[in-house]
Structure 1
Amino acid sequence: MKQPFELFIGLRYTRAKRRNHFISFISGTSIVGIALGVTALITVLSVMNGFENELRARILGMTSHAVINQAGRAIHDWQALAEIVDDSPHVVGSAPFIEGEGMVRRGQQLSGVLLRGIEPAAEAAISRISQHMLVGALEDLQAGEFSVVIGRHLAMAMGVVPGDTLDLMIPTANVTPAGVAPRFRRFSVVGVFEIGMYEYDRSLVLMHRRDAAALYRLGDAVNGLRVEFDDVYQAPYLARDLQASLPGFYQVSDWTRQHRNFFAAIQTEKRVMFIILSLIVAVAAFNIVSTLVMAVTDKQADIAILRTLGASPRSIMAVFMVNGTLIGVVGTLIGLAGGIALALNIETLVPAIESWLGRDLLADDVYYISNLPSDLVWADVIKIGLLSLGLGLISTLYPAWRAARVEPAEALRYE
């Protein structure tokens, strides 16, 4: 198959030993810079994807895929509602809950908390908290015993261990002969969990639903139902279909709406990080401009000879575009290989580096995710590769245009 002479000469210029070693140095710098930028982009985005997946898994371990409530009012016929929900398609299970804010006290220590009354037997179907119990179990929450399960950080802050008691107050007034006082009850600690999210480990207090109902004087009513679907990523659509199938005025809120701001912030951070790291690739790619401008100056005599032999300005432009594009392609391929290899092995490389340094890079007493998760998304790899190749191609346009404008007579005057 006949090879176009523009491609042949462009590749020949790339392979040939340059007379100007500075041009070779700039070319090598461009390749290394593009490779490092692409590697950094792939690795950082993979780590951010891993952190997002890890946070999502931990959040969903404590929250449900969807919540059903009735405009802030208590639901009295929740058993009938639960039967309808459990029989709905794509629903794995449901569990009633009572939720409110309060304050716990032990000695001189006070802390605001989020109270949640649950059915221990049903909770396993819609949350993963039972898998994160450090001491005790959810089944230790027995109705009428007024016991609680708390997070590790709350236990440390209050200085309690299982078997100790906590005084719990809620912002609902009791009218007594001595005046108005907040409702108060003493609870015993029967378990401690650690989910790995400070928001929950520091503030969440679990108790039996009937104890919470007695505390809030709800009788047999609940605040709502927590629902688990068979596909967490289809929760927005399944929640909408579930709400349409329910009788009465019920609201169904899925987990993406409950944590919309949190995951929107992660997505914004990923976009900003992509733009910032893309500048590394851009700077390295535009080094190709310097390389080709110097190459055009160095090859003016060759350009003039090609023009006198009948080469068109477009052909001359194509020769130098091939020369510069090859630099971008080589740097991109090296960067893609390095980024993919690093992203796939970073979870094993970090422990090795920690062992070599003799210290933890992500200490578990400081960070709530003490490992460095990575999730390589091939769509990101393709996007980064195309970006790098595109920047490399754009960088060749101006030098190639200058090469096409070289006048043969002027270039050969002093040869």
Structure 2
Amino acid sequence: MSKQVGIQRWMLAWCIGGWALALVFLVLAIYAFATKPSVGRSIAKVLSKEAPNSERVAALCSLGALRNSKSVPQLIELLKEEDTTVRMGAVIALIAIGKDAVPDLVKVIERAQQIPIISGEGTVVLTTPENAAAYALSGMGKEALPELLTMLRSKEHRVWYSAAQIISRIGKDALPDLTKAFIDAEDASLSSNIAHAIGLMGDVAEKALIETYNKVKEPFKRTQLLSQFGSLRNPSKEALELLFKAAEEPSTAPTALMALGQTRHHEAIRFLIGKLRSEDPIIRSNAAAALGIANAKEAVPQLIELLKDEKTAPSAANALGVLRDTRAVKPLIELLRKKTSASMHAAYALGNLGAREATSALITTLKELKGSKDTSLKIACIIALGQLKAYEAKPILQEMLNDPDQHVRENAKRILDQLSQ
């Protein structure tokens, strides 16, 4: 995205929030570009708290028109301004200055205690200095990419994820540099961060994801890219076929199946339901989990059937808990009563389902577990009873306060406190 296009984008976004202000700003910008007053006078006017906002905005336009890097520190300081008009003016001026402002803007992001909020296209949120800095960097487009790519090397999640968000807002213009950096990356954490930045672009990045996946041969890089296919909301036939093929390979199947679930595409759901019949229990389990992610209620009967298989019951129970279909309540209660390794998942699922009819079974299970070392199932039952607001469970929860396990006691106390409110 060129700088001119970037500034136009900001003007349009601001226009959505206040067209009158945008019109005033545009007129002042034209005037400032024509007159080009000195940097010193413009900075003095901008920093003057006594000056009317209209004059401060005009001075900001002048600084943008002059594109003088000497004004960057003052403009960075203005990102803290309470007045949105002044703050937006500083952002636009920084975009106009371009790459000379990038290092200072990056410092704002790196020093922040939280990740900037980058909203969707056409919306500008300038509630914090780091938000304003993020929008300025994304508005610069490719000029900011070298520094942003360096930020992706950071081991701090807050820093690299901020860069990934900003790059994703730059959009497809960033993809050639991103894909090259991904292919060249030798460090797995760096390539993972780059893949995430590509994935955040969604459908815009589909072609780049496919081409890059076909170019790289390292298994870890292929897996990283596959995980980003899940961000596609309208995957093409080519993308789906790539995922279907990857789902047949043992090394990439788990990631491909999850990505298919994340797309929620009807062809992906059909494929995943078919995988529930796989001879491999790991594939069946991953397909079940993916169907939960896909919110595929059409898969409920098959998932209920998987509850009978101890190897797939945990994943099937989790998926049914996510899908919240009442058809699953009775089979989940039956699984809970068996007190197997999958019963914990059944308890959590019943809580997620809001299945009040499971209250009695959960209480009975807790009573039967007194003296047992199965703390995971105890905790799952306690939490489920809390989700169901089961006031009749208070007596057994009181007894759990004396359980030998600290985590059981803590969860019992927490749920009792909730039920007493």
Query: Smaller-chain TM-score range?
Result: under 0.3
Structure possessing the higher relative contact order (Cα contacts under 8 Å, 6 or more residues apart): 1
The TM-score with structure 1 as length reference comes to 0.18
